[in-house]
Amino acid sequence: MGQHILITGASSGIGAAIARTLDRDGNRLSLGARRVASLAEASRAAFRAHLDVTDERSVETFLAAAIGAHGPVDVLVNNAGLARGVEKVAEADGQAWREMIETNVLGVLHVTRRVLPQMLARGQGHIVMIGSVAAHQTYEGGSVYCGTKRALQSITEAIRLETVGSGVRITSVDPGMVDTEFSLVRFSGDRPRADRVYEGMHPLRAVDVAECVAFALSRPPHVNIDLILVKPTDQAAVGKVHRRPATDRTRP
């Protein structure tokens, strides 16, 4: 029998791709997101429900229902997160900052602190954080987003230290440029502006990240993949991207 895998932010992009990739081998998936209508398209999972990781009551309600449907959580994939805007610190009004901090940092903590004790009590489990290359390199206009991902990196490393010897595994998968709704959300629905982010280069696909998660989960219990930093071949670093001329912009 497979594992109970709980995925946050599973309605689109990387979260939906992870759900599709792990929807096999008898796994029991619990998928949560704010856009519930999109969850049905993500997987054949038996349990799908509204989840707002910034709302502790929503988290508690979702977890209780998921555990009631599928039993204790074997794998938690903390995927819910977002970037909002490219404001410089001196020009910001702070609204986007709060949304990113509450989702990318507090949201992860709200879910993790309720799932981890059960894993520790059972002496097994796996928590996967979907981080970002932004945790490793910052850029102008991304101060708070990068700050949230760097905070997540520190939280992940601390949990790894706090749980060593418990049988619980902790992994961070940190992607570079991925062609999902990420930029569309960042630019508040401005499609042309979002598309320009990936213009002339071959970004990662959501499934590429999902396969990294699947690899980490597939290792035997004595193997912990601490970190997977994955970027497109065309991206060497934040801001260092190879872009092809307009005559050679084919994408796989």
pLDDT digits (tens, 9 = 90+) for 141-178: 899 999 999 999 999 999 999 999 999 999 999 999 99
The domain segmentation of the chain, as residue ranges, is 4-248
Alpha carbons 43 and 32: distance in angstroms, whole number: 12
Which tens digits make up the pLDDT trace of 44-97?
667 999 999 999 999 999 999 999 999 999 999 999 999 888 888 898 888 899
**Is 145 noted as a catalytic residue in this protein?**
yes
**Predicted confidence band of residue 249 (pLDDT cuts 50, 70, 90):** very low
User: What pLDDT is recorded for position 202?
Assistant: 93
Annotated catalytic residue: which of 47, 62, 97, 145?
145
Does the pLDDT value for residue 201 go beyond 50? yes
> pTM for this structure?
0.93
CATH superfamily of the domain spanning 4-248: NAD(P)-binding Rossmann-like Domain (3.40.50.720)
48: CB partners within 8 A, 6+ apart:
30, 31, 32, 36, 39, 40, 42
CB contact at 8 A, 170 and 156: yes
